[in-house]
């Protein structure tokens, strides 16, 4: 009883703080939405994800008010509309979606196909440079933002969309587009160089879900593996669209992969549960293989608050360099 008497006030205080924080953030969001909905002469733009928002915001510049629909740690693959979302679709003059069926829930697909002015960036990139799109078991991989040189193919398409909606400011969209392309190109080269520092025999990546195909092909695999051999450099517990259903077979496959490629680290992802990674760790341990799971996570589908898309990839590269590039692994859990 004494224990409960002591801990109950602390528990209630925590509950109060959590409730206040939740209502603050939701009030902040509501206010943000109200401001976005006010007419101010700017184009009202809705981006489906924070990553799409990042590039669209840069290109729309001063003439666009851009918000993202799926933010924080929400899973863009399975996201279903919630209260207030359909109003965003209604108020949006332009919508930018990742496409390639990333946003595949029925409610998202319904709204995206109902709106008269949507650009599915990935679908248009596919038409432009189809040979660079990756398929996994005949399914198109939507994670095109993980290769900055491929993502840069979307810049002209976004510029065109803004320009056809608002031709008066075309020169501004073009200028913004050029700056974005330069920035992407510069970051792309730097990432390639940074990751080259990891010895080739250690460039094997095991993650929570299949978000890193484009990243591995571009930044971890050497040039002579570009036509397909790069695929051996990664293994993920879950497929292209994570749903937390891990089979015993998936775990077995990862254990086999870990042994084959002398892997010592498996990387958690920010928005996904780590339970399955720990199951792999245990399975490896029982076979005498020590596996480290870093405390820091990789980012696949989401951004941390305040983080740009380029910063997210730089963070991933830094984490890989730190854990894959080491001789002896003596950190993590
Ligand atoms: Zn994903």
Does residue 239 share a domain with residue 134?
A: no
- Residue 292 Cα, ligand 1 centroid: separation in angstroms? 23
- Distance (angstroms) between ligand 1 centre and the Cα of 309 equals 15
Are 180 and 42 in a shared domain?
Answer: yes
Distance of CA 238 from the midpoint of ligand 1 (Å): 10
If you measure from the C-alpha of residue 226 to the centroid of ligand 1, how many angstroms do you get, rounded to a whole number? 22
CATH number of the domain enclosing 103: 3.40.50.1980
What pLDDT is stored for residue 333 in this prediction?
Answer: 41
Going from the Cα of 220 to the center of ligand 1, the distance in angstroms, rounded, reads 19
Q: How many whole angstroms from 133 Cα to the centroid of ligand 1?
A: 15
Q: How far is the CA of 20 from the centre of ligand 1 (A)?
A: 31
Q: Mind listing the pLDDT tens digit for each residue in 50-71?
A: 999 999 999 999 999 999 999 9
Q: Are residue 223 and residue 135 in the same domain, yes or no?
A: no
Q: Is the pLDDT of residue 246 over 80?
A: no
Domain assignment of residue 140, yes or no: yes
Q: How many domains does the chain have?
A: 2
The C-alpha atoms of residue 92 and residue 297 are separated, in whole angstroms, by: 33
Give distance in angstroms: CA of 271 to centre of ligand 1: 10
Q: How far is CA 14 from the centre of its chain?
A: 31
Cβ burial, residue 242 (10 Å; 0-12/13-18/19+): buried
* Residues 175, 254 within the same domain: no
- 69 and 161 in a single domain? The answer is yes
The model scores a pTM over 0.85: yes
Q: What is the rounded average pLDDT of the residues 120-143?
A: 97
My answer on whether 92 and 202 are in the same domain is no
Query: 49: which strand partners?
Result: 70
* Residue that the structure tokens 């981006």 belong to: 47
State in Å: Cα 223 to ligand 1 middle: 25
pLDDT digit string, tens, across residues 147-158:
999 999 999 999
Is residue 301 one of the residues assigned to a domain?
Answer: yes
Residue 242's pLDDT is what?
Answer: 73
CA of residue 55 to ligand 1 center, whole Å: 18
Q: Are residues 144 and 208 in the same domain?
A: no
Nearest to residue 93, comparing CAs of 109, 116, 111, 77? Answer: 116
DSSP sequence for 246-315: --HHHHHHHHHHHHHTT--B-B-BTTS-SHHHHHHHHHHHHTT---B--SS-B-SS---TT--HHHHHHH
Say if residue 286 is exposed, middle or buried (CB neighbours under 10 Å; 0-12, 13-18, 19+).
Answer: exposed
Q: How remote is the CA of residue 208 from the centroid of ligand 1, in Å?
A: 10
- Asked if residue 212 and residue 155 are part of one domain, the reply reads no
Q: What is the mean pLDDT of the chain?
A: 90
In this structure, is residue 54 part of a structural domain?
yes
Q: Are 266 and 226 found together in one domain?
A: yes
Domain containing 150 equals: 28-186
Whether 156 and 38 map to the same domain: the answer is yes
Task: Report yes or no on 69 lying in a domain.
Answer: yes
**Centre of ligand 1 from the C-alpha of residue 168, in Å:** 37
8 A C-beta contact, residue 103 and residue 112: yes
What is the DSSP pairing of strand 118-120 with strand 94-97? parallel
């Amino acid at each position: 009883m004494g224990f409960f008497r002591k801990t109950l006030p602390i528990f209630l205080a925590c509950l109060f703080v959590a409730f206040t924080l939740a209502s603050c953030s939701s009030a902040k969001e509501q206010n943000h939405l109200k401001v976005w909905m006010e007419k101010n002469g700017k184009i009202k733009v809705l981006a489906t994800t924070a990553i799409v928002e990042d590039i669209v915001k840069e290109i729309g510049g001063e003439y666009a008010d851009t918000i993202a629909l799926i933010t924080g740690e929400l899973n863009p693959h399975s996201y279903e509309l919630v209260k207030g979302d359909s109003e965003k679709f209604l108020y949006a003059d332009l919508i930018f979606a990742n496409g390639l069926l990333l946003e595949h829930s029925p409610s998202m697909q319904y709204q995206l196909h109902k709106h008269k002015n949507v650009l599915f960036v990935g679908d248009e990139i596919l038409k432009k440079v189809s040979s660079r799109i990756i398929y996994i078991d005949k399914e198109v991989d939507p994670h095109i933002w993980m290769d900055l040189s491929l993502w840069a193919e979307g810049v002209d398409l976004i510029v065109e969309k803004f320009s056809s909606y608002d031709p008066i400011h075309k020169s501004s969209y073009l200028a913004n587009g050029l700056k974005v392309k330069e920035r992407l190109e510069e970051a792309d080269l730097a990432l390639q160089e940074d990751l080259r520092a990891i010895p080739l025999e250690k460039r094997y990546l095991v993650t929570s879900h299949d978000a890193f195909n484009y990243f591995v092909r571009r930044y971890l695999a050497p040039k002579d593996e570009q036509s397909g051999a790069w695929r051996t450099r990664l293994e993920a517990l879950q497929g292209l669209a994570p749903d937390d259903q891990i089979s015993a077979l998936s775990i077995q496959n990862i254990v086999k992969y870990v042994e084959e490629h002398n892997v010592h680290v498996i990387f958690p992802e920010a928005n996904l549960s780590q339970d399955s990674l720990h199951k792999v760790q245990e399975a490896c341990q029982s076979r005498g293989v020590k596996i480290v799971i870093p405390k820091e996570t990789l980012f696949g589908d989401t951004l941390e608050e305040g983080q740009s898309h380029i910063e997210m990839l730089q963070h991933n590269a830094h984490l890989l360099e730190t854990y894959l590039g080491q001789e002896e692994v003596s950190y993590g859990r």
